[in-house]
Amino acid sequence: MSKTSNIMRLALLQLKGSKGKVANVQNAVNKIEAAVKEHKPRLITLPVCFVAPFRKYSETIPDGFTSLQLSNLAKKHQVYIVGGTIPELGENDAIYNTCTVWSPTGDLVAKHRKMHLFDIDVKGGIRFKESETMSAGNDFTIIDVDGHKIGIGICYDIRFEEMARLYRNAG
């Protein structure tokens, strides 16, 4: 793709998950292979929590099982892969909901940790506190794909328009 082109072919993948990490990663690998064969995209995106958002499935980045699979696929097919999110085992045993971006050379070009954790506690109703199991990131992430700037946000991050405004203002 020429850097002057305004057109980019994308593959946005939605996956059905299972209870097993290896099965979920293999499902992603299979869907990426099929998308490349059928649609020839330049950029492929995976969904949030496609591995599973649990501590027992967490891994380090870029040398964990899921990261190595995505890196190898990006290099094999010469595509960018936005790796949805995986539970990243970070410093001090913290777990982050992390999006990885892989270049056509298989290199990790960006890592974005979800900034806004979703907490809700409705008296007499639903209670869900992401902050009890995850840590928040604090960096904004912009990638360049063939001259196209793309800002990364994860799930609940979208509810905070300041992030989108910062990305827009960055070009």
pLDDT tens-digit readout, 74-109: 999 999 999 999 999 999 999 999 999 999 999 999
Burial class of 99 by CB neighbour count within 10 A (0 to 12, 13 to 18, 19+): buried
Residue 102: count of CB within 10 angstroms of its CB: 25
Nearest of 152, 119, 154, 112 to residue 133 by alpha carbon: 119
pTM of the predicted structure, to 2 decimals: 0.91
Domain extent listing, the chain: 10-169
* Percentage of residues of the chain with pLDDT beyond 70: 97
Query: Which residue ranges of the chain lie beneath pLDDT 50?
Result: 1-2
pLDDT tens-digit readout, 110-119: 999 999 999 9
pLDDT for the residue numbered 52:
83
Cα 42 from Cα 119, distance rounded (Å): 36
Cα 113 from Cα 165, distance rounded (Å): 18
CATH number at 10-169: 3.60.110.10
